[in-house]
Amino acid sequence: VIYLVVALATCASGIALLRLVRLDTGSVAVDVPMGWMVGAAWFALGAFAARSLAGIATGGWVAAAILALPVAGWAVSRLRPSAARIRREAPPARQAHWLPRPVGVFAPMVVWILVAAVGVTMHGASTPTHTDDAYRVRGLAPVLVARGDWTYEARAVVAMAGAIPAFVPALPWVAGAPIEPLHVGWASVLTFLALLGVVIGLGAARGSPRVGWGSAFALTTMPLLLYHWTSTYSDAWLAAYLGAAFAFLVAYGRWGEEGDAGRALLLLLGVAMVKREGELLALPVIMLLLAQVAWQGRRDGLRAVTRLLGPCIALPVMLAARVATVGVDGAFPFLRAAADRATGPTAATDAAVSLAGGGASPSPARIFLDAMFSDGNLGILYWVLVASLVLLFPRVRRNGLAWSGLALGVLLAETAASALWLYPQFTLDHSTVHRALLPVSAAAAVWLAALLADDPTVPATPPPAEPRSVRRARRRAGARA
């Protein structure tokens, strides 16, 4: 019961936060799953900052206060509706459309999505954590948070896991449920379901159910990603937030609604709260998003960028919390590794190069390409992506996918740089190359679905109804007038 209550409370907190910053979509199907993701990120940020910057342990009351804050803020904001808010937030009305066509094509896809969702949920909820990384970091961090450990060793584990994987699974335990290591993966499974909900709901809400269902289908055709949802590994968290962010990035490119840019930004901030390299994935995409907003907004562009900068305060807060937790050296190990690598090969890379040179193993580049195209861990995603990019290139611009495509390219380049240049030894031994591709592959799946399934030459159905909060505000303003 506590798990259910906590999930609902997190969701409610996220929805309240979305309404407070006027980024709710007006569609329950989108706002509820996104509420979970945003609420989880909000709680993780608040709890992590409170613990590391203010020394406040994550107890039940603290958790309740963090979750209640957006609800209170939203309640207060409802008392003061403003005409400006109504003007800014009223999106063009569209009608939700859930059934993709042709039904004959999409029906088996929907069946597969359901099979994958049930399989992941059942297996993820039933299987005890069993990987070394989970024992040492990903599953251990929430236990330490719930236990209140804050020694240097405990802080190092929490910082390594990242705020979201460390604090969110611990939430039911700090709320009073007994600490149960077997349930540490439940939050990850719920986030997987939330991701599916966001992409399907958003497609339906925007009158493009083919994009929504296509995204969910593409996301569930990657065997290794499905397996990761059932583990406690953080690559699954990264994939969830990045995939959901890309759903809004492509929507922003397609429809140009500023709200979608804001929603993408919130989810990208969530990406930055996973592992110690989350911000390295999130930052370039955020920069590109802001550039896109400035470019598309034209005369109002800079003002729009300024409006988006508000939530970005989360990023320095999170980084400051991490530095306070483990110091500068421990907070940014990847930057340090990159600096070391740039100044000359390290012992590990030397060993890797000599191993590859011996002819016993293919080169890192070959292994990286095999991981993308041949090994099957990512299904046939990259075959379809490359072919679609070549054959449908004009559609990239027409569908408004150029900026998000550029962001995808940057992410892929980052992943390749890590696998081929920074840590080739982990590519040669196959230990990280496949799972390092999972986050960018989730983004690629969503982007690909928008490229393949969305045809702007087909007249779109009307936009969804405006958010309920805006409707209420409009009614109140009308009544006062």
Partner 1 sequence: VGPWAALLLAVAPLPGAREVPPLAIASQVGATSPMQVTAEGIAFDVDGWVAVFLPLPGAEVIQVDYRATGNLMLTWGSADGTTTPSPHSPPWHHEPLEPGTGRRTLELRTTAGWAADRVPYLFVEGTGSFVLTGLRARPAPDDAAAVDRSRDEALRWAPIRVAHTTINLIEPQVWLASRDLLVTDLLGGIFLAGALGGTLAFWAWKRRWRPAPFLAGSAVAVALAGNAIFAVRAAPAVALAPSLDPTVRLAAWRDFSPELGPLAALARGQVGPGEAVGVLAKRSDWFGWETLCFHLAPRRCVQVLPERPEHAGLQGVDRLRWEQIDVLLVFHPEVPLPPGWVPVAVLNRNSFVARRR
Site residues (CB under 8 A) for partner 1, limited to 419-478: 430-435, 452-453, 455
Task: Determine the Cα–Cα distance for residues 99 and 24; give it in Å rounded to an integer.
Answer: 23
> CA 455 → CA 127, 246, 452, distances in Å?
42, 18, 8
From residue 31 to residue 50, the character string flagging contacts with partner 1 as x (rule: CB under 8 A) and all else as - is --------------------
Residue 481 CB, shortest distance to partner 1, in Å, is: 49
Confirm or reject binding of residue 159 to partner 1 (CB under 8 A): no
Residue whose CB is less far from partner 1, 42 or 186: 186
Confirm or reject binding of residue 177 to partner 1 (CB under 8 A): no
What is the footprint of partner 1 within residues 128-157 (CB under 8 A)?
128-137, 139-140, 143-144, 146-147, 149, 151, 153-154, 156-157
Window of 122-130, 300-308, 312-320, 408-416 that interacts with partner 1 by CB under 8 A = 122-130
Kindly give the interhelix angle for 381-391 and 438-453, rounded to the nearest 10 degrees: 40
What is the footprint of partner 1 within residues 225-254 (CB under 8 A)?
227-228, 231, 233
> CA 318 → CA 36, 246, 285, 289, distances in Å?
19, 22, 17, 20
Window of 219-227, 266-274, 302-310, 311-319 that interacts with partner 1 by CB under 8 A = 219-227
Residue whose CB is less far from partner 1, 94 or 228: 228
Q: Which residues, 6 or more positions from 108, have their beta carbon under 8 angstroms from its beta carbon?
A: none
Q: Please report where in the chains the tokens 């990850």 appear, as a residue.
A: 188
Three-class SS state of 381: helix
Residue from 182, 302, 339, 402 in contact with partner 1 (CB under 8 A): 182
Residue 221 CB, shortest distance to partner 1, in Å, is: 5
Give the CB-side neighbour count of residue 264, counting CA atoms within 13 A: 31
The answer to whether the CB of 202 falls within 8 A of the CB of 429 is: no
Residue whose CB is less far from partner 1, 41 or 450: 450
Task: Determine the Cα–Cα distance for residues 148 and 128; give it in Å rounded to an integer.
Answer: 23
Residue from 13, 208, 325, 377 in contact with partner 1 (CB under 8 A): 377
Residue 218 CB, shortest distance to partner 1, in Å, is: 8
CB atoms within 10 A of CB 132: 7
What is the footprint of partner 1 within residues 292-311 (CB under 8 A)?
none
The answer to whether the CB of 37 falls within 8 A of the CB of 265 is: no
Q: Which residues, 6 or more positions from 62, have their beta carbon under 8 angstroms from its beta carbon?
A: 47, 50, 56, 174
Residue 452 CB, shortest distance to partner 1, in Å, is: 5
Residue from 5, 380, 402, 417 in contact with partner 1 (CB under 8 A): 380
Residue 75 CB, shortest distance to partner 1, in Å, is: 36
Residue 158 CB, shortest distance to partner 1, in Å, is: 10
Confirm or reject binding of residue 366 to partner 1 (CB under 8 A): no
- Give Rg (Cα) of the chain: 22
Residue from 383, 402, 413, 475 in contact with partner 1 (CB under 8 A): 383
Q: Please report where in the chains the tokens 């604090």 appear, as a residue.
A: 167
Window of 193-201, 213-221, 243-251, 299-307 that interacts with partner 1 by CB under 8 A = 213-221
Q: What is the 3-state secondary structure (H, E, C) of 70-134?
A: HHHHHHHHHCCCCHHHHHHHCCCCCCCCCCCCCHHHHHHHHHHHHHHHHHHHHHHHHCCCCCHHH
65-82 residues labelled b (16+ CB within 10 A) or e (exposed): ebbebbbeebeebeeebe
Confirm or reject binding of residue 112 to partner 1 (CB under 8 A): yes
Window of 217-225, 269-277, 321-329, 414-422 that interacts with partner 1 by CB under 8 A = 217-225
Confirm or reject binding of residue 115 to partner 1 (CB under 8 A): yes
Confirm or reject binding of residue 5 to partner 1 (CB under 8 A): no
Window of 1-9, 115-123, 290-298, 415-423 that interacts with partner 1 by CB under 8 A = 115-123
Task: Determine the Cα–Cα distance for residues 44 and 145; give it in Å rounded to an integer.
Answer: 11
Residue 338 CB, shortest distance to partner 1, in Å, is: 23
